[in-house]
Amino acid sequence: MAHMGCLCGNRLSNSLCPNDVQIRTYRIEQWEEALAKNLDVYYIKDLDIWYCKKCDRFYYFQYEGRNHIRTITYKLLKVVYQDSRSCRCTPKLYREYMVYTDIELDSITNESSKVRDLPTPRLEVKQCKSCNRVTVKEENKYKIFKMERVSQIKEG
């Protein structure tokens, strides 16, 4: 299990199982392939994303080799109530994701759960490939995140 400090000073950890830090995120293409093949949920590779509830920031980790991690940090930009667009880019540039919190996924699955058995996620997540903003829709409320910074972290 891992832990890290958020930029706001909050300590993030995935030591508890389930936890409220990890967000199970799947690219829509992976999800559709898993549906077609009727795969077990636990066999789909999810993206490594952590969320800080204290400051509304999330971290997207990309592993490059054994000792290097590229971390992309996103910070809440603004909250919009009626407009679902996070940028002026065309909708064709959006990448869609299927998203469950670790707690949600734990409560609706077991070791043999199939992807097609899962309910629709309560969060809709889209990322613009052009400006890299991320829109998260929960009920009728939209949160729009922008990339805050990109940093390289070496594991010790």
Query: Closest by alpha carbon to 61, among 53, 73, 52?
Result: 73
pLDDT in tens, 67-121: 556 677 777 766 554 455 556 676 677 888 999 988 998 888 876 688 888 888 9
Looking at residue 129, the DSSP 8-state letter turns out to be T
Quote the pTM value. Answer: 0.76
Radius of gyration of the chain from its Cα atoms, rounded to whole angstroms: 16
The CA distance from 113 to 14, in Å, is 22
CB-CB neighbours of 39 under 10 Å: 16
Count how many domains the chain has. 1
Q: What is the mean pLDDT of the chain?
A: 79
pLDDT in tens, 77-90: 665 544 555 566 76
The CA distance from 1 to 15, in Å, is 5
Range of the domain at 130: 3-154
